[in-house]
């Protein structure tokens, strides 16, 4: 058998087509890769509750990286442990206070699978209610009692810059923040130093597979560190330029089985 590889998959815009399904072709190639001894895992910005269905659909039995590295666990092996690196609650509350002087639509705090909304918001509830979280609505200054895994600020495009500037000026040492892709003007905040690469490194050590035998796929700026860490950092054809520039290779888009086509070729899967 050829050397086994660790294959790390981002979900949205990468493994998932635009309709949020996995194509049959890519699913079949992933199954064959696993049968040949390669290891497949998911690394996503999503919480576990909204990535679980894909984990089961692919019949995985590997650890999963959620919240861009702020939470990692092994759904099928309790003894594996869980790694949770939340944002300090004091910092989170400082940010909530600061937001009062900015224009924003909402602030959402997630504590693993509990969701806290600053304001009631039907549209956002749709996105966050996948997997049935416990939802609490009300001023986060009062209702948030635990350090959040991630904090999201939903605003208008023209306010993004000033809010992000404030976050950088005041909290640069303790948080990292990035913007979501359009159409959502959302600033996502997690504890500093976290990324999907942090989770990938844990998996690399656990499976004893060196980075040069890791194949990671991604399309957005939350995939940059992971693609840099992996020996094969593969950008999707639909990825942003920044990701394509950092990647070793660019494959087809998420609508054209980019993941499956690349793996079939590299790993010689018929």
User: How many CA atoms are closer than 13 Å to the CA of 115, on its beta-carbon side?
Assistant: 25
Q: Considering the entire predicted model, what is its pTM?
A: 0.93
**Six token digits for residue 120:** 């009631």
Backbone angles phi, psi at 92, to 5 degrees: -60, -45
- Which pLDDT score is estimated for 122? 86
210: nearest Cα among 226, 234, 230, 235: 230
Residue 236 CB partners (closer than 8 Å, separation 6+): 13, 14, 217, 218, 219, 243, 250, 251, 252, 253, 254, 258, 259
Q: How high is the pLDDT of residue 2?
A: 59
Phi, psi of 215 (to 5 degrees): -115, 115
CA distances from 217 to 17, 27, 91, 228 (A): 14, 15, 32, 11
Query: Which residues does the annotation mark as catalytic?
Result: 10
What CATH class has 89-191? alpha beta
Q: What is the model's pLDDT at position 132?
A: 85
Tens of pLDDT, residues 70-128: 999 999 999 999 999 999 999 999 999 999 999 999 999 999 989 999 999 888 888 88
Q: Where are the domains of the chain?
A: 6-84+194-266, 89-191
Low-confidence ranges of the chain (pLDDT < 50): 1
Homologous superfamily, domain 6-84+194-266: HAD superfamily/HAD-like (3.40.50.1000)
In the prediction, which pLDDT does 131 show? 84
Rounded to whole angstroms, how far apart are CA atoms 90 and 112?
Answer: 18
């Amino acid at each position: 058998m050829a050397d086994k590889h660790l294959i790390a998959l981002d979900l949205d815009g990468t493994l998932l087509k635009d309709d949020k399904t996995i194509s049959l072709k890519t699913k079949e190639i992933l199954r064959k890769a696993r049968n040949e001894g390669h290891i497949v895992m998911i690394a996503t910005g999503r919480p576990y509750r909204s990535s679980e269905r894909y984990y089961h659909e692919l019949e995985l039995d590997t650890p999963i990286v959620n919240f861009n590295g702020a939470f990692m666990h092994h759904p099928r092996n309790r003894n594996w442990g869980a790694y949770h690196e939340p944002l300090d609650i004091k910092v989170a509350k400082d940010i909530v206070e600061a937001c009062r002087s900015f224009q924003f639509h909402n602030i959402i705090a997630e504590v693993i699978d509990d969701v806290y909304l600053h304001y009631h918001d039907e549209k956002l509830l749709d996105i966050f209610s996948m997997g049935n979280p416990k939802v609490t609505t009300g001023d986060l200054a009062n209702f948030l009692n635990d350090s959040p895994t991630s904090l999201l600020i939903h605003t208008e495009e023209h306010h993004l810059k000033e809010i992000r500037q404030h976050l950088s000026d005041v909290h640069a040492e303790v948080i990292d923040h990035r913007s979501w892709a359009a159409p959502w003007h959302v600033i996502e905040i997690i504890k500093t130093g976290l990324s999907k690469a942090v989770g990938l490194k844990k998996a690399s050590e656990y499976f004893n597979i060196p980075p040069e035998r890791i194949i990671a796929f991604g399309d957005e700026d939350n995939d940059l560190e992971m693609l840099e860490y992996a020996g094969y950092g593969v950008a999707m054809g639909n990825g942003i330029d920044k990701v394509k520039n950092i990647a070793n290779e660019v494959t087809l888009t998420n609508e054209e089985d980019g993941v499956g086509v690349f793996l079939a070729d590299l790993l010689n899967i018929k």
